Chains A and B, each alone.
Chain A
Amino acid sequence: MSSPKPIQLILARQLAASLAMPILLVDTEGMLIFYNEPAEMILDQRFEETGEMALDEWTRRFALADEDRNPIAAEDRPLMMALSEGKPYSRTVWMRCGHREWRHVSITAFPLIGEAAQFLGAQMIFWEV
């Protein structure tokens, strides 16, 4: 069983579950604690099947490259920037899930900060360019 979640993460999950854009929700350590149905095609599996996934596991599931198709290092991915710097971060990239075609997407990641500046995790949203 996973740990109890603060209300802000519970509400973030509920909101993500009702939106049509792919959304990933991670905790402060980068553990993927939820992704919505539209994000299942990125992770290539349903959340009900995978449950929570550790950082190194879920980041392996799709490749990111910059506009010139150079691979983006794990620590430079938008979600990692949001986690490590505590700031929102947007970037347009090429993304490849498994062996499918590269897709041109815009990614926005932002930290979730609660009462008394409590850092709760981060959320990442994908937009087709």
Chain B
Amino acid sequence: MRATLWGTRGSLATPGPDMQRYGGNTSCVGVVGREGTMVVLDAGTGVRRLAASIPPETRRIHILLTHLHMDHIQGLGFFGPLYRSDCEVHIWGPGSLTMQLKARLMRYFSPPLFPVSLSELPCRLAFHEVRSGEFDVGEFRVSAELVCHPGPTLGYRITDPGGGVLVYLPDHEPALAALRFPSLPREWTSAGTLAHRADLLIHDGQYSAKEYCGHCGWGHSSLEHTLAFAQLAEARHVVPFHHDPSHTDNDLDRLMSEAIEVARPEFRVTPGMEGTTFDV
């Protein structure tokens, strides 16, 4: 499979001259299988540009939402294929304990937040409630698991027919309440088993270690925790992702270097930059 980062920023879209290399669009990753299965991981503001890259002959697209915080769905209304009557769009994601996925998304697709309602979209739209478990999306086998982040939030493990594994955990705080991390085995760590031996792990790395101390419980990881989690999961290649809106390109270069220097990881680390493509 081939994965492209279309939005790497967390919390809030952050365009600007200081953010050009890492990018300012919020969470969105495009995944294309060898047989042509088109998967979109989250629909942050990066999804608008992703849509422009989809070949016009593509008729079926799967959007896998980890959760419905605004930075992960804000681009959905600007996703071109929703406005194509020849397109079938499947939206997968978590309902809440009291509301189904479609009803939750209708809150966004309705005035005053957005002028177009879901029923007005010309594409053929299908909703799939995702709970912890496994399901097939085209040529991919997908495992989903609830992970540590405020509100119902899923992590996804995507396995292609050749055995390549991509794990996507953009918003994740596995170190929550731990005096030191990691201190527990994989099976007692949020998404520890889901991420086991991932070929490519795209993981929340919003804060520096110092910043994390002031944001414990907000649902995100420090870069140090990201690398420690990847080590625990025995990931082969990790991509820190969901960068804090206050971090400029220069800040991120420095923070990544410092975290790598401290952790000295045995696996590959590639800082998440908008436009980067990975073959898994």
Contact = CB atoms under 8 A, between A and B. Distances in A.
The answer to whether A and B assemble together is yes
Interface of A: 1-8, 10-11, 13-15, 17-18, 114-116, 118
A6 B189 contact: no
A6 B146 contact: yes
Contact of B97 (A1, A5, A11, A115): A115
Q: Which secondary structure characterizes the binding site on chain B?
A: loop
B193 A4 contact: yes
B146 A115 contact: yes
B192 A15 contact: no
Q: Max chain A CB contacts within 10 Å: which of B95, B132, B194?
A: B132
A5 B194 CA distance: 11
24 contacts: A1-B187, A2-B187, A3-B187, A4-B186, A4-B193, A4-B194, A5-B187, A5-B188, A6-B145, A6-B146, A7-B145, A7-B146, A7-B147, A7-B148, A7-B190, A8-B146, A10-B148, A10-B189, A10-B190, A13-B188, A14-B177, A17-B177, A18-B177, A115-B152
A4 B189 CA distance: 8
Nearest to B176: A14
Interface of B: 95, 97, 131-132, 145-148, 152, 176-178, 185-190, 192-194
B179 to A, nearest CB: 9
Q: Max chain A CB contacts within 10 Å: which of B145, B177, B193?
A: B177
Contacts of A118: 131
Contacts of B176: 11, 14
Considering the complex of A and B, which 9 residue pairs feature the smallest CB-CB distances, nearest first? A4-B193, A14-B177, A7-B146, A4-B187, A10-B190, A2-B187, A7-B190, A115-B131, A5-B188
Nearest to A13: B188
A5 B97 CA distance: 20
